Structure 1
């Protein structure tokens, strides 16, 4: 039985819930579409980004402690396995991280929370690498 009167808020709550998380994901994909510096990761995505937007939002929702929308639809995320068909090297990792960092700044995620998320995203992005370069 949980007797804590003030449980720690989830990352999902700290980010600002569904609306703010959706805004972050949308800005991330808008930047990927607009900024030449993210062309390498944009090329790994379909022509339309709507499905990618939804999948990242659904994944991040559960990953941050909100509703497990991705798992409800697709089961376990199996991130690395789902990304193996795509050549992900250091350049793609770095582009993804820079794009997400820029998106977090532009949607005004709290700086301390940004630092926490950057560390977690960097660990995951590095683990996703499956090729050199």
Structure 2
């Protein structure tokens, strides 16, 4: 699934109820767990597009996280861990000495990916997570360091545990795809 570009909405899966309606040619489902809203677009897999509040209004994962401030806090914690913790040394070694541009870029990407403002996607037309990392020597070790640091940053950033679990699942799939892509390229 993550062998190509990652779409704007995160692929965060869970169970869905049988309640369905038609909207924009897609089936929309309200999930049993935490009033999740799912969209199914011509595939056997549904993707999360938002949350339904008790009042019936929907929110995106970006909104549920706490918006820009929360995304920045999470991203900054991720890069702080990468810079300071020896267990992330191989991952840190893949980056330039100045992480400020990467902090801005990842925060922008995640903002759009989680359903917030799409500025990063508008400024980086045609760029996706997979193509942006295509030339990097991503190994199983660096992939694991990335997912571990992301999980730790989420847990230390006061993110809802259920949403953090779903994000970590999606990050794991992305990292696995990048590892396979690098292995196939190096053959």
Match of 1:38 in 2: 88
**Superposition TM-score, scaled by structure 2 size:** 0.66
The structure with the largest alpha-carbon Rg is 2
Match of 2:68 in 1: 18
1:42, 1:131 → 2: CA distance?
20
CA distance in 2, matches of 1:15, 1:108: 9
Q: 2: distance between equivalents of 1:78 and 1:103? A: 22
User: What displacement does 1:8 show?
Assistant: 2.9
Q: Spell out, residue by residue over 1:27-54, the C-alpha distance to the aligned partner (whole angstroms, 9 max, x if none).
A: 0000000000011111111101000001
Determine which structure has the larger strand proportion and give its number: 2
Post-superposition offset of 1:123: 0.9
The answer to whether 1:83 aligns with 2:121 is no
Given the two structures, how large is their TM-score scaled by the length of structure 1?
Answer: 0.91
Where does the alignment leave 5 or more consecutive residues of structure 2 unmatched? 1-22, 25-51
Higher relative contact order, structure no. (Cα contacts within 8 Å, ≥ 6 residues apart): 1
Q: Counterpart of 1:106?
A: 156
Q: How many residues align?
A: 131
SS in 1 for 2:126: coil
Deviations 1:23-79 (A, max 9, x none): 000000000000000111111111010000011001000000001121121113322
Matched residue, 1:131: 183
Contact map agreement 1:59 1:77 (CA 8 A) in 2? no
Report whether the alignment pairs 1:51 with 2:95.
no
Give the number of the structure whose residues are more often helix, by fraction: 1
RMSD: 1.9
* C-alpha displacement of 1:9: 1.5
Is the 8 Å Cα contact of residues 70 and 77 (structure 1) preserved in structure 2?
A: no
